[in-house]
Amino acid sequence: MALPSFLVFFILSNLVVVNSAQERKQSHYNCPVSFPCGYLGLIGFPFTNMSRPECGLCTVDCGPWQPPNVQLETNGRWYEVKRMFQNDTVLVVDPESKLRLESRSCDSFYNNSNLPNTPSISYTFSPNLTLFKCIKNPEFAQKKDEYFNNSYLAYDDCPDFSIHYTYSYNRSMTPSNLPSYCSVIQLPANSRKDVDPSKPFQLLTSEFSLQLHVSKECSSCNLDGGQCKTVSGNQLQYDKGQGKSKLKLTLLIVGFAVGIVILVATFICFRRKFTRDQTPIQNSNHLQHSSISALQHHSSAA
């Protein structure tokens, strides 16, 4: 048993060394699979906490004295997270938009659809309302009225631009010949039925569903223990992690080797036990044979 025991000890010792070396090698992206975040519970990739921003594509502030907030890009605005769903969808509140809508500010008509869109991740929100924002200019007034005529509702109380829209959610309806002095904007829409279509501030909301679309390349890279990120030039960069794959292969090989050693050790034990059990029988047969021979010799002598 000395040799099998030595082999088991040798293999297990090498497993510890290999595992430790692998962990040191992969320490740069040794990211947690999930982390606790207040009432959201355990969350994981593509989200990451503020202490490990390199481990995900959007950072979540899980401070104990405030609701969780998510940042979609570095130095971007923060959104309050009210709920998370399984299909990478989160229900968020935009605090800045909430203040603008409550004060009926014309700044509410900024294009909120201009969310980060990178090779690693993109975002969409729903429901949304499509509006047309047109610069106010006496030279364009008649053409603008002729273009939108009675098919669109209008809001004309902003000093620098007018808003034209139809009361229809989730429909872009962008004309191909839109005047150059008008632009298309999409904003989160209020899904309530008791709103006044003639009041655009009632049609908009600061609370909406935000869906995260992680690229297949990034998802595969993360599953393999690596990282992906968008670098300058809007290029996707991979920091491939082979730690999980190599560690699994190492464990498989070592497990197979240990299994063989155990089988060999078991065989040797049974062989020795069988040998010990057969020895008394052989001795007994030998004694019986000697006794019979002695009796036969004695009979012949008589």
Structural domain boundaries of the chain?
Answer: 1-26+241-282, 27-240
- CA 46, 50, 51: angle at the middle one, nearest 5? 110
Give residue for tokens 């962008």: 174
Average the pLDDT over 39-58 and give the result: 91
Q: Percentage of the chain with pLDDT > 90?
A: 34
Average the pLDDT over 168-192 and give the result: 78
Distance CA(214)–CA(81), nearest Å, equals 19
User: 27: how many CB neighbours lie within 10 A of its CB?
Assistant: 9
Q: What is the pLDDT of residues 125-172, one digit of tens each?
A: 988 898 999 999 888 888 888 888 778 899 999 999 999 998 765 555
Contact call for residues 202 and 118 (beta carbons, < 8 A): no
For 178, 221, 246, 290, the CA distances from 167, given in Å and listed in that order, are 19, 43, 57, 115
